[in-house]
Structure formats: structure tokens, C-alpha cells
Amino acid sequence: MHIELDRVDRITAGAVGPAGDRTFFIQARQGVRLVSVLVEKQQVQLLAASVLEILSRTGKETGEGPPDEELELEEPVMPEWRAGRLAIGYEEEHDLLVLEAEELVPEVEEGEEEAEEGEEEGERAPADAQAAEEEHEPGTIRLRATREQMLSFARHGTEVCAAGRPTCRFCGNPIDPEGHACPALNGHRSSGE
């Protein structure tokens, strides 16, 4: 499935759930079409940093964009799928940033694939084989947004990521409310934690 949203009305990143057990999303709206994808926290962080880098290279002044209160996730948050690969770029001729998300498709182990082929040989009609091939084709979403929208996305996404558990100053891993066995200290807590 390929979804194309040209010039979105809004784009945001958000998280649902308590700190330490949050699920992250990227969500965009164009007209009545609302699209959400599951992402990892690190994907939001890297995407926000990439947006800022691209904006700095355009050489154009970018306005503030929508305020944070307009960037909360819209209900219902029903993801299309989990994103595997994210890519961001800039279309200079249209002065828009382009975000592409590709569905994470679990890889089939070689042994499993051979077993499936052996079981299905001669049993499957050509149409079924084509349908199975299409099942493994990852979904994609391509959307275009203004520089202002993406600046707000980056700012809000950074804030959403920072609102989680604090990180250890030694190893960078999250600190749970119960504490943290820091690998940089061989599992020992520092007196300041």
C-alpha cells in the first residue's frame, strides 16, 4: 500500500503511555485523511535532528510554525504499520520537505522460506503466488510539508522524547523509577543517583 499526502495540513510526533512504556507515533493529516505510523523514540530524535540540519542548509529564514498545543496526537491513533526506514529530504523547487516512511517487514529466515517453498510447490495457483509476493511488499508513506510545519515537528518531537525517563550521565541509558544498574560503573549505582 502506498499513501501519498501532498502538502499536509499538519504533521506531528507524539507518544502514548507512561514513561518507560511509551509508544511513539508520527501522524499527519491532509484534509479528512489522518495517517499514523508507529516509530521508535530514536527515529523521532534522528528525524528531528535531520530536519534541523536540512533547514539550516536551505539558507532561508523559517517561521515558528504551529504552536505546541496544536501538535498533540489526534484520536483515534490507529497506526497503518510500524516504520522501518525513514528518509527526509528537501524539494527546493517547491520549498517543501519530503518525508518517506517505509513499513518494517519482518525478514523471513532462510530455512523457513525454503520450507514454505517446499510445502507449497505445486499446491499454489499462479495468482496465489503473486498475492503472496505482494504481501511482502512494504507499505510506504510519502508526505510533503512546509519548512514551518517541519520546524514545529522537530521542536515538538524533541520535547516528546525528552519527557520520558531521565538518562544516566555515565552510560546514556534510561533510568527506571526503581533505579539503574549502570554498565559504565559495572552495574553499581553512583552516590548521586
Give the per-residue pLDDT at 193: 43
pTM: 0.75
Give the per-residue pLDDT at 83: 96
Give the per-residue pLDDT at 118: 47
Three-state DSSP class for 93? coil
> Does the structural domain 2-109+139-162 have CATH classification 3.90.320?
no
**Per-residue pLDDT tens for 25-34?**
999 999 999 9
Give the per-residue pLDDT at 182: 84
| Domain spans in the chain, listed from the N-terminal domain onward | 2-109+139-162, 167-193
CA distance 144 to 98: 5
Mark the ranges of the chain whose per-residue pLDDT is less than 70. Answer: 108-136, 187-193
CA distance 58 to 99: 16
